[in-house]
Amino acid sequence: MSEFTGNEIIHQYLRHNKKFPHVLCPGCGHGIVLGSLIRSVHSLALPKDDVVLVAGIGCSGRLAVYVDFNTVHTTHGRALTFATGIKMANPKLKVICIMGDGDALSIGGNHLIHAARRNIGITALILNNNIYGMTGGQCSPTTPEGAWSMTSPFGQMEKSFDVVELGAAAGANFVARGTVFHIHNLDRIVTRAIERPGFNLVEIVSPCHTQFGRKNKYKSPVDMYRWIKKNATPLERYNELSEDQRAGKLPLGVFVERDVPGLEERYQALKEKLMEGAR
């Protein structure tokens, strides 16, 4: 029985009246992220009613429809703004945002840095597959330099964003990076991000073989997972490497961990002060 425990947990959280199969391609990492999210919510014993899953547009945006939380599938790039409204309207809710790399960093880049600056109590999961998957494989702000895509047919010329550096600089309370290859590690990071106060940002490296891998010399989805396995380095070990050795490596782990109260908590404190004055 024990070997099926993971699935049994997940089945409790799926919407059975929503017709499966899902929309994800073979080899996609997004389903693994959803599994990790469910296990995290389960391990924290959060009631389903208290969880609001807000998703943007794209492959990652479709995840919300399959799980039995309060789910909101928003407009492209704006998931964090909806989440801000929900969290401020009802701070008791656990608001989790699922976004893709294009969603969060390109069209929604402004909302991302301001949500981090505001330090509002939202868990933001950025599913980074380095490409615009659903629109057919155009380059995204995280497409690596030189990589091929439909809109960089001669190789991407622009430098890519480092999600972790961006989130840390903008003021997020918690910034971490995980991958869908390191599942136990990912479960720990996502759980930690959900339970903490303030804005918690997790970049999750999740390969897209259909749009990215196939056209960038990864013969199969497995090759993409092998790439992650080979290059992912725990942050502690990464810090010990020399500048040359760091090239191409993917540091994983928790980069920032601060305990600043979230905006909604500070706002509540202000309200209490003002209303005290009114009495």
Summarize as ranges the residues that interact with other proteins (CB under 8 A): 15, 17-18, 48-50, 52, 54, 64-65, 68-75, 78, 81-90, 92-93, 110-111, 114, 267, 270-271, 274-275, 277-278
C-beta separation of 156 from 146 below 8 A: yes
Contacts 24+ apart (CB under 8 A), 264-273: 264/87, 264/88, 264/91, 264/120, 264/121, 265/91, 265/121, 265/197, 267/88, 268/91
Report the nearest approach of other proteins to the CB of residue 126 (Å).
18
Report the nearest approach of other proteins to the CB of residue 99 (Å).
13
Distance CA(152)–CA(138), nearest Å, equals: 7
The backbone region for 116, taken as left when phi is positive above 0, alpha when psi lies in -120 to 50, beta otherwise, is alpha
Between strands 51-55 and 94-100, the pairing is parallel
**Cβ closer to other proteins: 69 or 161?**
69
**Cβ closer to other proteins: 107 or 150?**
107
183-195 and 30-43 helices cross at what angle (nearest 10)? 50
Report the nearest approach of other proteins to the CB of residue 64 (Å).
7
Report the nearest approach of other proteins to the CB of residue 73 (Å).
4
Report the nearest approach of other proteins to the CB of residue 256 (Å).
21
**Cβ closer to other proteins: 170 or 224?**
170
C-beta separation of 207 from 224 below 8 A: yes
**In the block, which residue shows the tokens 């699922």?**
98
From the centroid of its chain, how far is CA 248?
Answer: 21
Report the nearest approach of other proteins to the CB of residue 91 (Å).
9
Indicate the SS3 state at residue 5. helix
**Cβ closer to other proteins: 88 or 168?**
88
